Amino acid sequence: MAPRPSSISTFRALLIGAGATLAGAAVALGAIELGMRAVGYGSVLTVVYGRAHYNPDLPELGYAGRPFARGIESNEGGADVAFNSHGFHDIEHARAKPPGAFRLMVVGNSFTAAIQVARRDGFVSQLGEALGQCPALAGRPVEAVNLGVGGYTIHQEYLLLRDYGLTLKPDFVVLQTNSFVVPGDLDPKLNLSPRLRRDADGKVSVDYSYEDTPQYRAKSSDFAVWLQNFSDRSRLVQYAIQYRQIMRDIAAEGAPEGAPEDEAALYRSFQQGRDLAFGEMAELLREKNIPFAVTIVPDADAESARPLGPEPVRDQWRQLAQKAGAPFIDVEDEARAQVRATGAYLHYLGANGASGHLDRVGNAFFGKALAARLCPLLGGESSASLAPKFAAQ
């Protein structure tokens, strides 16, 4: 009869087996990590919730860009992400404006942030470079400031401009908008951030009730920030976080839809909030005697051969700008002509009719097209030399 193994030898065998399993798992995970790096995958997290976790110069915005965020973004394109100390996809800007400089500030969402391309290739940088050729600014260095953050609503953009942007003393402000409504704009539960509201006494106040929600507490916790910092060192962790978010989005899309009257009420609430926040922004800039314009990102691409149909959101932004006495810059016609002439799409996924973010070609086009429209507003005699050329890319 074989001797019965002792408890010590059994424990040793289990320990060796567990160690071998862990070592094998570590080797497998390491191989996956190296493979993801070899193919250039990256999905760096660029925003952080809670004012304690982003630059204290910024106001309470729910979330903001991560100061000094670095990494690879390969979901669209494949760009090196490099944020400045305030959490913007931009170079550093001194609080004091350089003598004689013309400081142009662009406030917007992910299209302005443009993390899909290198920051020098974003439309804000392209706009600043092109405006250097504007006759009205001859001899003056042009400094383009990018205040774009992915997912920002007009409420956040107003508060960011009021409490931080204006401290940089801009000479001109451009508000970037879109021809569509993103879910976070429409439904406050999908964008944990402050919203402006008009109280019963007619005064405008800021609603910070999102700070009391479990979702916000979780996103702004120290653990969430630690996980973001840890993910900077691992593409595999970045993928896991992104996959989890995708699954949440799919689950949200599959949730039962509300009653039509509820959806209509939600849209009316969105419109009222948007109009209120934009009105406050326009009034603020008028008080400071800072000229501004509103622009809308072109769609173009697979739809370029079709006539431009009714677009309520585009028309509403145009009406809001006109009411405020601000120029409304819409380069959709030029964008479609550019695509038809060159065959080069302006957005990622453009060939599929999807409205991805602007690619490198699209950012260059948009920046130059904006410069051509802005130059006359600054007193330039001619803007023809600034317009994008319809030549093959």
Cβ-Cβ contacts under 8 Å for 124 (sequence gap 6 or more): 90, 106, 112, 114, 144, 145, 146, 148, 367
Residue 176 · residue 148 · CB < 8 Å:
yes
Q: Mean pLDDT, to the nearest integer, of 141-163?
A: 97
Q: Mean pLDDT, to the nearest integer, of 22-30?
A: 83
- Confidence band, pLDDT 50/70/90 cuts, at residue 32: confident
Closest CA to 279 of 360, 197, 342: 197
Distance CA 343, CA 161 (A): 37
Distance CA 222, CA 219 (A): 9
For residues 305 and 91, the model is more confident at 91
Distance CA 66, CA 279 (A): 29
Distance CA 250, CA 244 (A): 10
Distance CA 28, CA 30 (A): 5
Q: Mean pLDDT, to the nearest integer, of 1-29?
A: 75
Distance CA 261, CA 264 (A): 5
Task: Give the CATH number of domain 101-220+259-386; options: 3.40.50.1970, 3.40.50.1110, 3.90.650.10, 3.60.15.10.
Answer: 3.40.50.1110
Q: Which long-range contacts (CB under 8 A, 24 or more apart) does 220-229 make?
A: 220/49, 220/50, 220/52, 220/53, 221/50, 224/48, 224/49, 225/48, 225/50, 225/53, 228/45, 228/48, 228/66
Q: Label the pairing between strands 195-198 and 102-108.
A: unpaired
Token pair 């391309």 is found at 117
Distance CA 301, CA 313 (A): 19
Distance CA 381, CA 364 (A): 23
Looking at the chain, the whole-number percentage of residues with pLDDT higher than 70 is 91
Give the DSSP per-residue string, 307-348. PP---HHHHHHHHHHHHHT--EEE-HHHHHHHHHHH---SBT
- Confidence band, pLDDT 50/70/90 cuts, at residue 339: very high
Cα first-last separation, the chain = 83
pLDDT at res. 332: 94
133-142, 259-268, 318-327: least confidently modelled range:
259-268
Distance CA 174, CA 326 (A): 10
- Whole-angstrom CA distances from 144 to 21, 70, 147 are 54, 21, 10
pLDDT at res. 392: 39
- CA 176, distance to chain mean position in Å, is 11
Cβ-Cβ contacts under 8 Å for 216 (sequence gap 6 or more): 49, 50, 62, 192, 210
pLDDT at res. 19: 79
What pLDDT, in 10s, does the model give residues 74-117? 888 888 999 999 999 999 999 999 899 999 999 999 999 999 99
Domain ranges of the chain: 101-220+259-386
128-137, 185-194, 321-330: least confidently modelled range:
185-194
At residue 82's C-alpha, the angle toward residues 81 and 83, to 5°, is: 120
Residue 221 · residue 213 · CB < 8 Å:
no
Distance CA 147, CA 143 (A): 13
SS3 at position 113: helix
- Confidence band, pLDDT 50/70/90 cuts, at residue 3: low
- Confidence band, pLDDT 50/70/90 cuts, at residue 229: very high
Residue 372 · residue 334 · CB < 8 Å:
no
| pLDDT score of 168 more than 90 | yes
Distance CA 113, CA 110 (A): 5
Residue 68 · residue 76 · CB < 8 Å:
no
Cβ-Cβ contacts under 8 Å for 170 (sequence gap 6 or more): 103, 104, 105, 145, 290
| pLDDT score of 391 more than 50 | no
pLDDT at res. 393: 37
- Confidence band, pLDDT 50/70/90 cuts, at residue 351: low
pTM to 2 decimal places: 0.90
Q: Mean pLDDT, to the nearest integer, of 18-25?
A: 82
| pLDDT score of 360 more than 50 | yes
For the chain, give the mean pLDDT. Answer: 89
What pLDDT, in 10s, does the model give residues 244-259? 888 877 776 666 666 6
Q: Mean pLDDT, to the nearest integer, of 282-307?
A: 92
- Confidence band, pLDDT 50/70/90 cuts, at residue 347: very high
| pLDDT score of 390 more than 50 | no
